[in-house]
Structure 1
Amino acid sequence: MIFRRDIEGLRGLAVLLVVLAHAGVAQLPGGFVGVDVFFVISGYLITGLLAGQLKQDGRIDLWVFYGRRVRRLLPAFALMVTVSGLAAIWLLPASAWGLQADSGRWAALWSSNIYFASAEFDYFSPGASASLFLHTWSLGVEEQFYLVWPWLLWGAWRWRGRTGLAIACWTVAIGGYLLGMAATQVASWQAYYQTPFRLWQLAAGGAMCLTFGAIRLRSGPSRAARMVGVLMLLVAAVLFAPDRIVYPGAWAAVPVVGTALLLLQGDRGASFTWLEHPSVRFLGRISYSWYLWHWPLLVLFASCFGKSVEVGLISALVSLCVAWATWHLVERPALALPIGEGRRWVLAGLGGAVVLAFAGLGWSHAAAVQQPAGTAAPHPLLRTIAMPALYQRRDCDEWFRADRVVPCTLVDPPGEHRPTVMLVGDSVAAQWSPALEDVARRGQWHLVVLTKSSCPMVDHPFIYQRINRRFVECERWRDGVIAYLRQHPADLLILGSTADYPFSPQEWETGTRSLLTRLHGMAGRTLILAPTPLLPFDGPRCATSRVGQWTDAERQSRCSVDLDSVRDRVIVQRLQVAARGARGVRVLDLSDAVCPGGRCRAEDGGALIYRDGQHLNATYVRRLVPELALQPEFQALGR
């Protein structure tokens, strides 16, 4: 095949979009579409290679084909997996090992996309982003593409020659796109990770190669097509914020078509000189290594230094240097080795995958024991983690899988005409239930909790990243709560939500006001709990990491943050504005009690304050009982 400098530059653009988006650059929230660009390029090149073999020999030498794939991908990949695993054992607490071991083992078998899909990890969710090997899902898709595609093309060639190849590619591209759109509406995480719903993007590249690969457009049409292609990629990178659109779905056509247009060949006057610039081509040359290293280093840097754009950009620069070294010391020497008949490379690839997978099994066993390096037992702080009692009943919070309203009575004192306190909200509202239980027992009040995780007390639709679609179950659940309150009014209604929702300040205000209007007359008084400050790091992980390396003073410094930097004053102000027009409604901000002295800490006095990055530990919440009991709404219930 003819080497094309513009395609090498296009690889550089794709990896740059991915890395900057992962680093947290706010102007490129949709940079993850760079992976779609890679898919189209791979389909274009691989299909061209296989079609050339079929045209020349009438067959495909599978040993050589797979041997080349192994020689190209395995050496750098095996190095990344091994080094990342060792770094995780050294830098991450044992509580994080389980996820790393499981995802690493599946990554070693080139099937981590199946793991993340079966575990229902949304690509954009915090749970998935904690894995050092999340990015390998796309490599799994490509490897599975390599297993299927040669056979499909061979069958199409036997059926109708080159015409059969084109028909097969276009059929898979169009049919797969429609299938992916349907799958996104039903199970978006499956549509994002699984090969059957991504194969169309690689097939689209193959269709472009077979249909237009031998055609050179004249300068005018070629330049216009490429301008449109660049515009489509920029639109996707700038506007495709994961909290605003459902992806992949129909939107995936934008980066795919844009890439396809950039793959069109024009005459010399139609070339995009910036795509062929040496700096862009350099990024394209080391794009595989940079893609391999950028994510694990980003996760490790964030774990050690906190998550921020600055930390993300520094880790991206470090990973670029590591990628350059990997290209020179591993990738390029491996590509210079003779391929031979390919059998040895294929067997080496299978053996390497098995060895890495067995290493992951051993790591999984160590994770199950939960022993940080150099210690004989779990860190004492981890024993202080406690969950609210309501989670002992599975039906109290069915998350996104259901919309039914299940009242959970936590305090039910004997006697008649006891006041009823009702707590309604998401999991951050539910975190206050341990303290409210104590307050209710002291006052001999009924305490009923209506909770649905990730469902805000804001009457406004939103796309929930965990399921990558509009959270309609939340909307129906809120409607059910209002219907329940209409039949069972409360003496005191307490509403609460986290600040981590994709609402604009105006949507926070209008959505809260709308909900309060619908709740009018259903409670004697209403108390809105302001969102708890969010830590820029995982509290338990920070507090239990670097055992024997950080002093207590260093740990207190690294595992704390200024309240002013994490308190979302804008949301609190909007909640207060929404509450002004409603009778008997007040906003209560307990941030100063949660973060005394203006510092939000991971732990205090030998107990964890947060059980992750946003939820308070039930043990700590009970310390705040006096703060809650003194609020006028509770004082009024006792009269």
Structure 2
Amino acid sequence: MTAPVTAPATAPAVVHRDDIQGLRAIAVVTVICAHAGVPFLPGGFVGVDVFFVISGFLITQLLFREVERTGRVSLSGFYARRARRILPAATLVTLATLAASAIWLSAVDLQTIVRDALWSTFFLANVHFAAVGTDYFAQEEPPSPLQHYWSLSVEEQFYLVWPIVLLVLVLLAARRGRRTGLPRGPVAAVLVVATLASFAWSAASTASTPLSAYFSTPARAWELGLGALTALVAPAVAGRLSTAARSALCLAGLGLILLACVAFSEATPFPGSAAAVPVVGSALVLLAGAAGPAGAAGRLLGVRPMQVVGDWSYSLYLWHWPVLIIAERYVDAPLGVVRATACVALTFVLSALTYRFVEQPFRSPVRFPTRRAIALYPGAVALVAASAFGGQWYSEYSSGALGDNPAITLTNFGADPSSVDLAKDKTVALVQASVIAARNDMAIPSKLRPDLLSVRDDEPDVGACDYEKDSREVCPRGDVDADRSIVVFGNSHGRMWIPAFDKIGEELGYTTYYFVKPNCAATLVTVGQLEPGSPLWQECDDFRAFALDQIAQLDPDLVVVSTSGPNPVLYDADGNRIPKDGLDAAARQGYVDLFTRLDSTAQRTVLLRDVPKNENLPDECLTEQSNTLGDCLWKPLAASTQDADISVDAAEATGTEVVDPTKWVCWQGECPAVIGDVLPYRDRGHLTTVYAGSLAGELERALGLQ
């Protein structure tokens, strides 16, 4: 669909600007440095924002010139150019990342990356990673080697809308008698309104939900919009400025970008208003160079090395993240200076080859005219889908799920049963046997419960009482007709016990209630959110107040407090951050306050000590090629033991009963990744529903229930 043609239909042309290539070089180098761990550029991630402004500027400039020359906007031509520009290299890197993950990462990693690849191919990576980032149960998982594709998705979602909006404006102008040229007034009005609205949304959403805002197209669109506005006004404004004035603008813009790179960090709430610093800086550089090189700074951006890096910038951006992430996950340790430098060098080699043999050939409109260029997209989808299918099969094969390795039993654990004095309690005995099996490097059982490749999705159902989403429902479970009740109060480490308490309620005749909000520890101290900047989390305080009020009304026979320690940022009653050396004391006092309050509102209170946490993800270890059970035997994380000790100390100080489940998951300071044929943990610290449910009898006896 196009507007009426009143001028010869020639292809749009954009004058090459060396300063823009230099700005691209700055953007990609800062991003790579930040991700490689260069200490003096903690805010180098703002290079992505610089890219957004450049992209908004160049693509809009191209569309404007097309309208000026031809009086129309060719959507097919626009999307053909986008396809030639982004699809070949992006598809190559996606396929290479899948192959590298199959070779060097675990089967469960590969399965996750397969999903990431599909989301990325449909330009919905930002939506996907926002959902993953805001899912508490997924936050402990390592970053995906395809996570950086979120920015491509933001751009393409923006460009799905912007050319159509411009086309509508051109058509409306034509109907009102404007026969040719760009309707600058309406275009400026739309861009100003959309940019300001997006900026306002970015500031508001960054303050309330930073993780979602970071990946959000509405929260990022203003950055592309400001680039588009700069393209609209640059020819007129820059032409009226002296060389000295434009040089000052360029220096100011570069200074703002540098300021963001050195002053910002992961703790900076972003994008929000903070993003205005690098975004405005980028717009100033683009504006300054619109009438020729802007003094010495402009000429410096045009030197040959900057041009080369600018030419390679797209490939550099695509390659650097998977190279760094896969290498770090393969060595299972921080890369350090030497390894990070080697990864960056490899990135430059791969990018040079990709630019020469992939980007350049596919950009040719002669080799790939409009129809053939548009066909690149279904071709890319087909390639990635086929590779994803192969990756899914290979993950199942390499995980050992298709093998026949036997489960651990009390008679099959790699040692002579008569030579080992196992506990009389069968649950504890099987834990001991599983530790011994791991010490003897037994093969990982092939048939595991729950499924090894989907264990991370193994979460207890909470029905309408999903307090993670601030529900205020009260949901009776277990035996809903019983005249006695049990309440579980805590965070996700209380939620994980739901299968056990559901069984107890049904079998013994208790109505069960679960006031459990992920990440919101039970200790009565205000916590910061797990967000950039760790803002005070009022919703957690509100939930605990609601839960304690409900407990008082229910007057339960038993309240079980089950929780992990609080977030690392705590606030006092006046809303001030508590110093690091006061965190443990504040957490302990919060537990004391909790147990004291429950003593007056519940007939009986028991602390169910938190289970030990693992430093690593067990499913990753269990699906790494050639690993045995011994490779995945782990020791409790010291910090989790300390957090649990604080809660126990507070319970003992208030005369509150304590039940310690450690013996059901560990023995002699070591914890097996497989107990019998069951995966006890779904991640670093949460029990699986299968294993939690199997402990119902143990809990029943430990709590003295009947």
Q: 1:331 to 1:122 in 2, by over 3 A?
A: farther
**TM-score when normalising by structure 2:** 0.70
Contact 1:121 1:127 (C-alpha < 8 Å) held by counterparts: no
Q: Which residue of 1 aligns with 2:630?
A: 556
Q: 1:517 aligns to what?
A: 593
Corresponding residue for residue 265 of structure 1: 288
Range 499-508 or range 447-456, more displaced: 499-508
Change beyond 3 A, Cα 1:162–1:533: same
Aligned residue type for 1:292: L
Amino acid corresponding to residue 287 of structure 1 in structure 2: S
CA 265–115 in structure 1, closer or farther in 2 if over 3 Å, else same: same
1:287 is aligned to 313
> 1: distance between equivalents of 2:192 and 2:361?
37
> d(CA) in 1 for partners of 2:112 and 2:78?
33
Q: Give the TM-score, by structure 1 length.
A: 0.76
Contact residue 41 and residue 205 of structure 1 kept, 8 A: yes
CA deviations over 1:97-145 (Å, ceiling 9, x no partner): 664444423432334445556x676499538866553332321222233
518, 526, 531: which is aligned to 1:460?
526
Q: State whether structure 2 residue 210 is matched by structure 1 residue 210.
A: no
Mapped to 1, the partners of 2:193 and 2:489 lie a distance apart of: 50
Q: How far apart are 1:398 and its partner, in Å?
A: 1.2
Q: Which residue of structure 2 lines up, in the alignment, with residue 78 of structure 1?
A: 91
Distance 2:306 2:556 in 1: 63
Give the conservation status (yes or no) of the 8 Å contact 2:399–2:622.
no
Structure 2: unaligned runs, 5 residues or longer = 1-13, 405-443, 571-579
The structural deviation recorded for 1:479 is 1.0
In 2: Cα distance, 1:277 partner to 1:253 partner: 27
The alpha-carbon deviation at position 499 of structure 1 amounts to 5.2
- Within the alignment, does 1:482 sit opposite 2:504 as a pair? no
Q: 1:447 to 1:434 in 2, by over 3 A?
A: same
Asked if the contact 2:46/2:260 (under 8 Å) is kept, the reply is no
Please tell me whether residue 135 in structure 1 is matched to residue 148 in structure 2: yes
Equivalent residues in 2 for 1:372-383 (5 A)? Answer: 372=398, 376=402, 380=445, 383=448
Is the alpha carbon distance of 1:329 and 1:394 closer, same or farther for their aligned partners in structure 2, counting shifts above 3 Å? same
Matching residue of 2:56 = 43
Query: Helix, strand or coil for the counterpart of 2:526?
Result: coil
Look up the SS of the partner of 2:596 in the other structure.
coil
| 1:178 aligns with one of 192, 200, 212 | 200
**Secondary structure at the residue paired with 1:463?**
coil
Post-superposition Cα deviations, 1:138-194, rounded to whole Å, max 9, x if no partner, equal 212222333433343455564664444444432321133234456668887775545
Partner of 1:350: 377
Segments of structure 1 that go 5 or more residues without pairing to the other structure are none
Alignment of 1:199-598 (within 5 A): 199-212=221-234, 214=238, 215=241, 216=243, 217-220=245-248, 222-237=250-265, 239-240=267-268, 245=269, 247-265=270-288, 269=295, 271=297, 283-298=309-324, 300-301=326-327, 303-306=329-332, 308=334, 310=336, 313=340, 318-335=346-363, 337-339=364-366, 342-356=369-383, 358-359=385-386, 362=389, 366=393, 372=398, 376=402, 380=445, 383-385=448-450, 394-395=462-463, 398-404=466-472, 406=474, 422-432=487-497, 449-458=514-523, 459-464=525-530, 473-488=539-554, 493-498=559-564, 501-503=567-569, 505=580, 506-507=582-583, 509-510=585-586, 513-514=589-590, 516-517=592-593, 519-523=595-599, 527=607, 529-530=609-610, 532-536=612-616, 538-546=617-625, 550-552=626-628, 556-557=630-631, 559-561=632-634, 563=636, 567-568=639-640, 571=643, 579=650, 583-584=654-655, 594=665, 596-598=667-669
CA 1:226 to 1:31, structure 2 compared with 1: closer, same or farther past 3 Å?
A: closer
d(CA) in 1 for partners of 2:260, 2:331? 36
Which letter maps to 1:539?
P
Per-residue CA deviations over 1:294-322 (Å, capped at 9, x if unaligned) read 34445544554436465994766644543
Distance (whole Å) between structure 2 residues aligned to residue 278 and residue 224 of structure 1:
23
Q: CA RMSD in A?
A: 5.0
CA-CA distance at 1:14 after TM superposition: 3.1
Provide the rounded CA distance (Å) in 1 between the counterparts of 2:673 and 2:41: 31
| Equivalent residue letter for 2:547 | V
Out of 210, 216, 220, which is 1:198 matched to?
A: 220
Name the % identity: 29
Moved more, 222-231 or 439-448: 439-448
Whether the aligned pair in 2 keeps the contact of 1:67 and 1:339 (CA below 8 Å) is no
Query: For residues 123 and 500 of structure 1, what CA distance do their matches in structure 2 show?
Result: 17
* Equivalent position amino acid for 2:489 in 1: V
1:67 to 2:80 alignment: yes
Task: Please identify the structure whose Cα radius of gyration is greater.
Answer: 2
SS at match of 1:395: coil
1:614 aligns with 2:685: yes
Q: Cα–Cα, structure 1 residues 461 and 302, in superposed 2: closer, same or farther, change >3 Å?
A: same
Corresponding residue SS for 1:567 = helix
User: Deviations for 1:505-526, whole angstroms, at most 9, x for unmatched residues?
Assistant: 4456435524642552423655
